[in-house]
Amino acid sequence: MNYVTTKDGAKIFYKDWGTGQPVVFSHGWPLNADAWDVQMLFLQQKGYRVIAHDRRGHGRSSQTGTGNDMDTYADDLAAVIDELDLKDAVLVGHSTGGGEISHYVGRHGTKRVKKMVLISAVPPLMLKTAANPIGLPKEVFDGIRASTASNRSQFFKDLAMPFYGYNRPNAKVLQGVIDEFWREGMLGSVLGEYECIKQFSEVDYTADLQKIDVPTLILQGDDDQIVPIDASGRKSVEIIRNATLKVYPGASHGMCTTEADKVNADLLAFLQS
């Protein structure tokens, strides 16, 4: 198994398949790099080098008691990118991973980055504030914290339903998808996952988005029940220079799974453009 050791001694697990231009994936909460399997397999077969890491406190990476914050997440991503000496990389982030790759650019710039893709991503800010009235109330995230702390196993099974839009009428519910969501969530540290909630909900990524100076594709469903599109994708496209937003009608937050063929095609087209 591949690991990069960070400055504070944490071991960050990563997958690294194929050759060619590198495409680096950052996963959402409470998942890990396995959430990208469909995209990674597809792009590796198209001639790209695909890399995905488990965020600290998630998956197979160290379950640290400290450093479960976005500054450290971004620096961990930089440690992987620097260790592999990646150049002209395309960064792809889903949900919390969209915040991670944005904050990576905010802290480390785009010298190693050619393009970026934000999918159902949390930037610029999920939390409702006076300056962000269309955000979600803090009580929503307090509820996520309480459920994670009290019985995360049941919570992850319940959360998978709106995550993939399986609570909608006539939705085709796939038990295997729910089981995989639960499996990935339970691999992580309850402490790391708990502390990560603040990072995806309360961090304001506006300044990071303003520093993105490479072509950026934003993909999001207009039925995203986890990260509502009006406060995320539709705002981010107005902040990032040279950004394009593609809306998937009726698509859920977990569109990399439920709309995998469309997402894969859009990623490949963007990579080739």
Residue 253 bears catalytic tag: yes
- Return the sign of the alpha-carbon dihedral for residues 100, 101, 102, 105: positive
The CA-based angle 156-160-162, given to 5 degrees, is: 130
Contact 101, 86 (CB under 8 A): no
Helix residue ranges per DSSP H, the chain: 37-45, 70-83, 96-108, 138-163, 175-187, 190-202, 206-211, 233-239, 255-258, 260-272
Among 95, 189, 201, 252, the active-site one is 95
Residue of 50, 51, 91 lying closest to 74 (CA atoms)? 91
Residues near 224 by beta carbon (within 8 Å), at least 6 away in sequence:
120, 232, 251, 252, 253, 255
Examine the residue annotation and report whether 71 is marked as an active-site residue of this protein.
no
Element (H, E) at 92: strand 89-94
- The yes-or-no answer on residue 95 being catalytic is yes
Q: Which of 224, 232, 236, 252 is catalytic?
A: 224
Supply the residues annotated as catalytic: 95, 224, 253
